Amino acid sequence: MSNNLLVLCDPDRDQVEIARIAARSGATIGLVSTAVRPQDMPAVGCRVEEVRDYGGVSVQALDEPLIAGAALAQLSSFTDAVIVHHLGQWAERLTAHHIESPERLDLELISMGSVMNAGLTDVILVSTPMEEGRSAPLGAAAEQLHRRMLEILGPYCAEVIDLSRAAR
């Protein structure tokens, strides 16, 4: 069974530590990056992995702002761990894109959960903490979806590592 983790942190600042956590699983690390906006995705080749630096470690990266569970499955096929960076941003992208279609939002969470549950690789979910005053500012819909992400995907994680609390 895989060892999925939820890392609560400042996603921009704590990448070195996240990479160090991922490296416990093995040498080959994947990254699903939700940073690119859907409209900025290239028409061709967005699912061809590229080597990037993440917190000082070389990772096999895919940009995927929407169907992140599917991207996770693709990277799972040859990695020891995959970092999903990050849930708040993914929630923003999804709500902006599927704002009229709550079932599509659910579907993406279901997809991510099913891949995490299949034990294909260790999954490192990166998220900002949701406690009052500590979460990054998101729109109301994205905030709500982010909470649902943590509710739905949290149970697939063996451990929650709160780097933000450690930093304080």
Partner 1 sequence: MRVALIHPPDAIIPIVPCSSIPVLTAVLHAAGHTVKAYDAGQIVARETLQTDKVEHWYDLMEAAAADLEAVGSRDAEQNAELRRLQRLLAMPRSMIAELDDAIAMMRDMDRFSNPAIFNRKFDVLRACFQLVYSLNPDGYFNMRRVGHDVLGSPTPGLPDPPMEVFERLVDRILADRPDIVGLTVPFDSAIFFALKIAQMVKARAPHVVVIMGGSAIESNSYPVMTDPFYFTVLDYVMIGEGEVQFPRFVDAIASGSDPREVNNLRWLAEDGTIGKTEMLLVTDLNAVPAPDFSALDYDNYMLPNSLGTLQTSRGCYYGKCTFCSELFRKGFRIRRPDLVVDDMVAIYEQTGIRHFHVWDSLAPPKTLKKIALEVKARNLPFVWMAETKFERPYREEETIRILAEGGCRFLQFGFESGSSRVLDLIDKGNDLDDVDQTLAHMKKYGIRAGVTWFIGFPGETEHEADVSYDFIASRRDRLMFSGYARAFSLGTDTILYEQQERFGIEAFMKSEGVLDFRYRDGTEHWDTEERNHAFWVRGDFYLIMNSIHLHYSTLSQEAIMAVTGQERCGPLIRHINPDVLERTPFVRTPEVSVRHFRVNPQSAAGEGYAIAFHSLTGFSFDLDADGVRLLEVLDTPRTYAQIVTATGFAPERIHRLVDLAVNRGMVRAIVEVHDIHYLPEADLAAKVLASS
Which parts of 72-91 interact with partner 1 (CB under 8 A)?
A: 73-74, 76-78
Residue selected from 16, 99, 118, 167 as contacting partner 1 according to rule CB under 8 A: 118
Which residue, among 86, 83, 157, 148, has the nearest Cα to 117 in the 3D structure? 157
Of 14-22, 104-112, 127-135, 137-145, which part binds partner 1 (CB under 8 A)? 104-112
Looking at the Cβ atoms of 45 and 133, the one nearer to partner 1 is 45
Looking at the Cβ atoms of 73 and 163, the one nearer to partner 1 is 73
Residue 111 CB, nearest distance to partner 1 (Å)?
Answer: 5
DSSP per-residue codes, the chain? ----EEEES-TTT-HHHHHHHHHTT-S-EEEEE--S-GGGS-SS-TTS-EEEEETTEEEEEEE-SS-HHHHHHHHHTT-SEEEEE-HHHHHHHHHHHSTT-HHHHHHHHHHHHHHHHTTSSEEEEEE---STTTSPP--HHHHHHHHHHHHHHGGG-SEEEEHHHHH-
Per-residue binder mask for partner 1 (CB under 8 A), 17-56, x = binder? --------------------------xxxxxxx-------
Residue selected from 111, 144, 154, 161 as contacting partner 1 according to rule CB under 8 A: 111
Site residues (vs partner 1, CB under 8 A): 43-49, 67, 69-71, 73-74, 76-78, 103, 106-107, 110-111, 114-115, 117-121
